[in-house]
Chains A and B, each alone.
Chain A
């Protein structure tokens, strides 16, 4: 019976995913093995050339570059977001939902609106520069907008609440006595954090990191607006294949590549976070 239960909890979601994700996506991704027609469209003729093309160093470079930006954004977001989630979780319990609410509220405006607000802040004639001028600074300020930094700021900003939410979940009910036990054994707050709280909340951190990473690597609005279109994320590349170049087979091949790599990373992450958080298979069943 304990065997049947998880299945029927999962069935609705799995059915949903099968109908509205697995089947449609397989149909599209299968195109990776066919040829692009001269004017776009698909010629149903088996080929591995699209797959082969993915391994061109150019795409590897783009992949690494966007993974670098996404990784940096995810790392920064995780640091800030975890700290904020930790702070929220250490506030009186009845305040916590309100704090969470206000942490996500800005993100119920609109992505473009927020991104433009950053443009207003960061541009050469923008608020930050004006402010610096107003307080008497008249040196040259480095170009902030249309740089990688701006892209990272934009990504961190927009995905920060997701990290806060992901980290808050496991932090919300940590047993305080475990924290106390560590203090009692001579650990400072910081050491306790590093050796006890942090490892126990690795699942939340990993989840938050994954959120920012996958959302960033597929983002094209922020690189376009805050990066001045000078940085190409892998998501952008895929988008271009499907829409601009009308090259679905290659878009599908790139997508498969991206999905495969991310799956690999995620499996690693699950594995690592389970090790770190002390989760283990509770028993070795004999079946």
Chain B
């Protein structure tokens, strides 16, 4: 796997994939700096749209709400989904399975889940807001996290779990000190996936949001703006979000040099 020609081949695959992933991104990057804001023609470099963006408190507020929803529901889903995956795999190894409930959140059409939750919450007279979006996002996110972690658990060496127990660790300690660290790459992958899903989710968020502005998420905001096409501010926002993410990563890298998630 480490010989040079296959390494070169791997680099080729990576470059091609990343090119595919980033071509549309470079388009919106360019658009965000296009003076006219129209996708049709380049009319000169301008940071005008970034100014517009900063001034647009609706968009900024929605973006912040999205971030809150994504982060909290990712954390909750990662925790619940990972534990679920481990539990299911332990159990499956013993021969009993209960897959359906676990797959369901992925398969249930968004609109069904959305309407069901809204009906349910209003039946119970549940106050709605960001928290109800978070609760709802956690439902499907945890299923996705669970699926990723399970894919990894299929090739997990369970004898180290026995070793840990044998050495006196209680199940929670084994979980924390042995299973989770070994699963870290998969858990990180699951969390990234949940975060990504949540950040983009529209229907369920729309239906489970409260009725005020304080629980409007970015996709809700953007979908409602669709009749004007994608405005250049939104492109600017997308660029800003990605840039900030890279900056955050760089800072966290610097803070714990050499220690990355997944190591």
Contacts and interface: CB of A to CB of B under 8 A. Distances in A.
B169 interface: no
Given A13-B84, A173-B185, A262-B107, A109 B238 contact: yes
A28 B115 contact: yes
Interface in A109-141: 109-114, 116-121, 125, 127
A65 interface: no
Interface in B209-254: 218-219, 222-223, 226, 229-230, 234-235, 237-239, 241-242, 245-246, 249
B84 A9 contact: yes
Interface string A2-39: 11011111101110111011111101110000000000
A270 interface: yes
B127 to A, nearest CB: 15
Contacts of A234: 109
B45 to A, nearest CB: 18
A113 B104 contact: no
Contact of A87 (B13, B99, B138, B200): B13
A170 B28 contact: no
Interface residues of B, number: 112
Nearest to B194: A165
Contacts of A105: 242, 245-246
A235 B113 CA distance: 12
Given A94-B260, A121-B27, A169-B151, A5 B142 contact: no
Interface in B63-112: 79-81, 83-84, 86-88, 90-95, 97, 99-112
A104 B192 contact: yes
A251 B116 CA distance: 12
Contacts of A127: 27
A28 B10 contact: no
Given A110-B222, A285-B95, A235 B110 contact: yes
Nearest to B24: A117
A237 to B, nearest CB: 9
Nearest to B13: A87
| Secondary structure call for the B interface | helix
A166 B28 contact: no
B26 to A, nearest CB: 9
Given A105-B246, A107-B196, A259-B108, A113 B222 contact: yes
A110 B99 contact: no
Contacts of A97: 185, 188, 260-263
Contacts of B116: 21, 24-25, 27-29
Contacts of A284: 95
B205 interface: no
Contacts of B150: 203, 207
Contacts of B27: 117, 120-121, 127
Given A116-B28, A203-B151, A107 B106 contact: no
Nearest to B174: A5
Nearest to B6: A189
B154 interface: yes
B87 A10 contact: yes
A254 B81 CA distance: 28
B60 interface: no
A110 B226 CA distance: 13
B263 A94 contact: yes
B241 A210 contact: no
Q: Which of A97, A203, A283 has the most CB of B within 10 A?
A: A97
Given A27-B123, A120-B39, A170-B152, 4 more contacts: A10-B84, A21-B108, A161-B193, A164-B17
17 contacts: A8-B87, A17-B142, A18-B101, A21-B108, A21-B139, A25-B116, A93-B263, A96-B262, A99-B14, A108-B196, A125-B40, A161-B21, A168-B185, A169-B186, A203-B151, A279-B154, A283-B95
Interface of B: 1-2, 6-7, 10-11, 13-14, 17-18, 20-25, 27-28, 31, 39-40, 79-81, 83-84, 86-88, 90-95, 97, 99-113, 115-117, 119-120, 123, 135-136, 138-139, 142-144, 146-152, 154-155, 171, 175, 182, 185-186, 188-190, 192-193, 195-197, 199-200, 202-203, 218-219, 222-223, 226, 229-230, 234-235, 237-239, 241-242, 245-246, 249, 258, 260-263
Q: Which 5 interchain pairs have the tightest Cβ spacing?
A: A9-B87, A109-B238, A117-B24, A10-B87, A24-B120
